[in-house]
Amino acid sequence: MADYRPEVVAPHKLKKDPSNGDGLLLQMVRNPDILATIATRPDRPFSVGFAAETEHLLDYAARKLKDKNLDLIVANDVANPSIGFNSEENACSVIDRALHATLFAQTSKAKIARQLVTFIADRMNQV
């Protein structure tokens, strides 16, 4: 889920309007943080978050882990053009509650996904 959504949803397609020039202004509002809400419940499940960051990757991810009361967080460096959004490959680090980071080296996104599922399942079984 995205962090923000449009404040107003148009009931129909927005047509080009010459009076707006080449731009369109969308007012955005913050979405509820579903993961943080679930992670604060007394019967909460094992909770894993994702942090897509452009700077201070491990610091920001560790802060998010603590702020949201997560068991693990997967930190992705989205500023690196060789991995992430416009690439067939990725690399990431998984941080646990003890702030220990486990690095997953650059490889295909499919392989990273399999590695993460195995890693998270192993951690869930330790709880």
Calculated CA dihedral for residues 18, 21, 23, 24, nearest 10 degrees: -40
18-48 b/e with 16+ CB inside 10 Å = b?
eeeeeeeeeeeeeeeeebeeebeeeeeeebb
Percent above pLDDT 70 for the chain: 100
- Looking at domain 46-126, which of 3.40.50.10300, 1.10.10.10, 3.40.47.10, 3.40.50.10580 is its CATH number? 3.40.50.10300
Q: Round to whole Å and give the CA distance between 6 and 29.
A: 6
Kindly report, residue by residue over 3-55, the tens digit of the pLDDT. Answer: 899 999 999 988 887 877 778 888 999 999 999 899 888 898 999 999 999 99
**Which one-letter amino acid corresponds to residue 84?**
G
Phi first, then psi: give them for residue 19, nearest 5 degrees.
-70, -15
pLDDT of residue 107: 96
Alpha-carbon distances, residue 124 vs 55, 84, 103 (angstroms):
29, 26, 18
Q: Which residue has the tokens 């129909």?
A: 12
